Amino acid sequence: MKVRAKLGGRAFFVYDKTKVLKGVKEMKIGIDKIGFFTSHLFVDMKELAFARAEDPNKYLIGIGQSKMAVIPPSQDVVTMAANAAARILTTADKEQISYVIFATESGIDNSKATAVYLARLLGLKKEIRAIELKQACYGATAGIQLARGFVALNPDSKVLVIAADNARYGIKSPGEPTQGGGAVALLIGTNPQILALEDGSTAYTQDIMDFWRPLGKNEALVDGRYSEDVYLNFFSHVWQAYLDKTGYQLGDFAALLFHLPYTKMGLKALRIALKDARPDEAVNFVQEFEHARTFNREVGNLYTGSLYLSLLSLLFNSEKLRAGQRIGLFSYGSGAEAEFYSGIVQPNFKQGLMNVNYLQVLNERQEVSVSEYEKLYQQHLFSAQEGRVAYDTDPARYFFAGISDFKRQYQEK
């Protein structure tokens, strides 16, 4: 990449920008591994519907959710991220990671980044950068794009991108059936096993109050119907802009993935993309969408991790997905910001899931009653509080033990 130049008789080296860019374009950069973690507890949406005097089909069909993860007080975004990352990281990966980018909208401190706690818990080396990113449910996509640029300039490095959230709207609030929580860990590097990212993504940002959480509030404020409209408008915008920019058509994609705050939301966006599709083409996209929402249906909202849980769900459950096929990803974060981008499925994509049987993981969770969920919901300790948290029944490797002297206590079993 460096070329020899001469100035005033002295020879020196400069970077040839065209060669650097050509090198970057030829290099495959993308998602090498994906790990996912959610709590061992869930509430059945039928039971929640009965408790709220709603028709269960409103939740099961109208909103598209079957179960909702219940996050116990012994888990927060840091521990969930550590539990997700521990599922994928080898000793060699830990040596190569030189950047941790932690995307969350359930932050635990106004100053210190969650990524710093995480790096220590995972035993990463100290010669790294560790930061936190925020833009509602869009944060992880921003993290992936930043990681891509960093890896292009540092091809021997890997970046750990985390998407972790505890989605809290409030007991008996309209947003309650769209709660959930968990973490997705994405390892970004060259020659990725899962998905090679393509150029040409399209983004859109507008200052909109559809969902926000003022400092000091532990639950989000949301204008649900308005948020749906903004989501769909932003999707139409970045999708069309992406097609115009790249020249691709619907038929150039094997599947379209969406941010899924609840799975019906993605279905509504898919219908926009399929409005001119041939019937056989539409059937194929709907089938892949069903595979892509299988896990989200079982877990609920992950906020910024929802799109990436959907990617994992597709990779795990699809029977048709093949190497060389293109996947489109729509990322949306209220407030509001959206991006559409694409990636090419790589030959070893199943290996990038590290042999974790997520179907079994989800099936082995314990059901809690609605009143147990309400109790656990209220027991969470937030930043300016002090106290211990009961963690004995939490089977997760990393857990949160409480707050002492305003310092959060994280432990490993």
Please report how close the Cβ of residue 61 comes to ligand COA at its closest, in angstroms. 4
Any contact of residue 261 with ligand COA (CB under 6 A)?
A: yes
Closer residue to ligand COA, CB minimum distance, 79 or 263: 263
Closer residue to ligand COA in complex, CB, 62/94: 62
Task: Residue 3: count other Cβ atoms within 10 Å of its Cβ.
Answer: 9
Known binding residue 169? Answer is yes
Rounded CA-CA distance 387/405 in Å is 9
Q: Is 54 among the residues known to form the active site?
A: no
Which secondary-structure segment (H or E) carries 337? strand 337-345
Is 137 annotated as catalytic? Answer: yes
The tokens describing 265, both together, are 């939301």
Sheet containing strand 387-388, strands side by side: 387-388, 398-404, 407-412
b/e burial code for range 379-410 (CB count within 10 A of at least 16 → b): ebbeeeeeeebebeebebebbbebbeeeebeb
Q: Which stretch binds ligand COA (CB under 6 A): 60-68, 77-85, 286-294, 340-348?
A: 60-68
Shortest reach from residue 209's CB to ligand COA, in Å: 11
Q: How many CA atoms lie within 13 A of 353 on its CB side?
A: 18
For the segment 293-332, give every residue that binds ligand COA (CB under 6 A).
Answer: 332
268 labelled ligand-binding? yes
- Catalytic residue, chosen from 105, 132, 176, 298, is 105
Q: Is 55 annotated as ligand-binding?
A: yes
Listed in sequence order, the residues at least 6 apart from 116 whose beta carbon sits closer than 8 Å to its beta carbon are: 130
Residue 372 structure tokens = 């147990």
Q: Is 99 assigned to a binding site?
A: no
- Residue 360: CB partners within 8 Å, gap ≥ 6? none
Element (H, E) at 399: strand 398-404
> Binding residue for ligand COA (CB under 6 A) from 30, 35, 143, 175?
175
Q: Residue 262 or residue 341: which is nearer to ligand COA going by CB? A: 262
Per DSSP, which regions of 29-133 are E strands? Answer: 29-37, 41-44, 67-69, 97-103, 129-133
* Whether residue 380 lies in the annotated active site: no
234 vs 391 by CB, closer to ligand COA: 234
Nearer to ligand COA, 298 or 394 (CB): 298
Q: Which residue among the candidates 132, 176, 259, 288 is catalytic per the annotation?
A: 259
Binding residue for ligand COA, selected from 222, 238, 257, 368, defined by CB under 6 A: 222
String marking each residue 117-146 x if it binds ligand COA according to CB under 6 A: ------------------------------
211: three-class secondary structure by DSSP: strand
Binding site residue list for (3S)-3-hydroxy-3-methylglutaryl-CoA: 55, 169, 268, 301
Which residues of the chain form contacts with ligand COA (CB under 6 A)? Answer: 55, 57-58, 61-63, 174-175, 177-178, 211, 222, 224-225, 227, 231, 261-262, 332, 334
Catalytic positions? 105, 137, 259
Binding site residue list: 55, 169, 268, 301
